[in-house]
Structure 1
Amino acid sequence: MAQEIELKLAVPDASLAPVAAWLDANGEAKGELTLLNVYLDTPERDLARARAALRLRRKGAQWLQTLKTAGQSQSGLASRHEWETEVACEAIELQRLPDEARALLAPLAARLAPVFRTDFARRTWILEQDGARIEAALDSGAITAPATHAQERIQELELEWLSGDESRAADALRALGARLQAIAALTPSDLSKAARGYRLAGVANA
């Protein structure tokens, strides 16, 4: 089980160009790709009530399944548990997940169905900050909830801790965030894409 530690910042239109230019100048550009994602839950929204999110992601020719469990988020800085494995196609494969994740999903498996989508283009860079290795991901796209015919824009920067002293990960992310906020108007965001998707789908307190 991985521990995901990240800082999320909302990016207004006027900040897109200066943020990308700063990242080009100060980080190692890793390219751009399109990520197509569908989030699943039961009709009773068992995962939402447990503050968990289950996602199938198409990344080029590769399919990934990801389960994230309840975490904490304050001033855009989030920490949560995450399991991610490859799958053969757009279908959940419980046997590829570790025991803890499989135990959560197995009772729900027969009733899982798509609830909303998050589809976006992602540009990524790798940066160093105070001994930490950090991935910066600039996402632009949309969240759609077919049942409510609702759509919401995605335009955000995610700074994710990759390696270094984990006890100092939050400080390193905040320091890098402050450097970026000095060159563009960026606002910390505590809502994950999954939380926003559930709200669009009409699920309260997701």
Structure 2
Amino acid sequence: MGREIELKLSVPDDALAAVSGWLDQHGEGHGEVTMLNVYLDTPSRDLARARAALRLRRKGTQWLQTLKTVGHSVNGITARNEWETPVPGEAIELHRFPADARKVLAPLMTQLGPVFRTDFVRRLWIVEQDGARIEAALDSGTIRAPGVAAVERIQELELEWLSGEEERAEAALRALGERLRAVAALEPSDLSKAARGYRLTTPN
């Protein structure tokens, strides 16, 4: 099981050039990749009610299955549990998850189906901040749901702690966020892509 700690910042159109330029100057570029994602749940939204999210992602030619479970988010900083394993194609393979993840998913497997998609292009940098190694991911794309005409736009920067002293991870993320906010009008966001997708599928 991995522990994901990240700071999410929304990026307005007029801030894109400033953000990417600052990261080009202060970070180590790691290229660009297209992420094609489908989120799955039961018709009664058992995973959403448990504050969990199950995703299949195509990253280049590789497929990954990911389960994220209960976390907390305050002023853009999110910490949660995450299990991710490669799979051969666009299908959940329960046996490839570790035991804790299988325990969550096993009772639901026969009911799982696609709920919404989040497809985006991601630009990546690695930045050093206060002894921490942080991945900066600039995402641009859309969130769509079957049978829903509305489309949500994705334009956000995710700063994810990769290594360093975990007890200082939040402080390092916030410090890097403040450096970026000094050059562009960025705002913390507590809504994950999954939360936004579920919101899109829920009638007002």
* TM-score class normalised by the smaller sequence: over 0.9
Q: What does 1:186-205 correspond to in 2, within 5 Å?
A: 186-202=186-202
TM-score w.r.t. structure 2 length?
0.99
For residues 195 and 142 of structure 1, the distance between their equivalents in structure 2, rounded to whole angstroms, comes to 14
User: What is the CA-CA distance between 1:11 and the residue it aligns to?
Assistant: 0.1
Q: What does 1:74-93 correspond to in 2, within 5 Å?
A: 74-93=74-93
Residue aligning to 1:113: 113
Amino acid at match of 1:12: P
Structure 2, unaligned runs of 5 or more: none
Whether the 8 Å contact between 1:150 and 1:201 is mirrored in structure 2 is: no
TM-score w.r.t. structure 1 length?
0.98
**What RMSD, in angstroms, separates the aligned Cα atoms of the two structures?**
0.9
Residue aligning to 1:73: 73
Alignment partner of 1:127 is 2:127: yes
Amino acid at match of 1:106: A
Amino acid at match of 1:159: L
Residue aligning to 2:51: 51
For residues 149 and 116 of structure 1, the distance between their equivalents in structure 2, rounded to whole angstroms, comes to 12
User: What is the CA-CA distance between 1:148 and the residue it aligns to?
Assistant: 2.2
Q: What does 1:1-206 correspond to in 2, within 5 Å?
A: 1-202=1-202
| Matched residue count | 204
For residues 168 and 175 of structure 1, the distance between their equivalents in structure 2, rounded to whole angstroms, comes to 11
User: What is the CA-CA distance between 1:146 and the residue it aligns to?
Assistant: 1.3
For residues 25 and 203 of structure 1, the distance between their equivalents in structure 2, rounded to whole angstroms, comes to 44
Amino acid at match of 1:153: R
User: What is the CA-CA distance between 1:203 and the residue it aligns to?
Assistant: 7.0
What are the superposed Cα offsets for residues 93-135 of structure 1, whole Å, 9 maximum, x if unpaired? 0000000000100000011000000000000000100000000
User: What is the CA-CA distance between 1:35 and the residue it aligns to?
Assistant: 0.2
For residues 20 and 86 of structure 2, the distance between their equivalents in structure 1, rounded to whole angstroms, comes to 30
User: What is the CA-CA distance between 1:184 and the residue it aligns to?
Assistant: 0.2
For residues 119 and 184 of structure 2, the distance between their equivalents in structure 1, rounded to whole angstroms, comes to 25
SS in 1 for 2:92: coil
Whether the 8 Å contact between 1:133 and 1:161 is mirrored in structure 2 is: yes
Runs of 4+ in 1 over 4 A off after TM superposition: none
Q: 143-152 or 165-174, which moves further after superposition?
A: 143-152
What are the superposed Cα offsets for residues 56-103 of structure 1, whole Å, 9 maximum, x if unpaired? 000011000000001000000000000000000000000000000001
Identity %: 72
Whether the 8 Å contact between 1:10 and 1:155 is mirrored in structure 2 is: yes
Amino acid at match of 2:200: L
SS in 2 for 1:71: strand
For residues 16 and 156 of structure 2, the distance between their equivalents in structure 1, rounded to whole angstroms, comes to 9
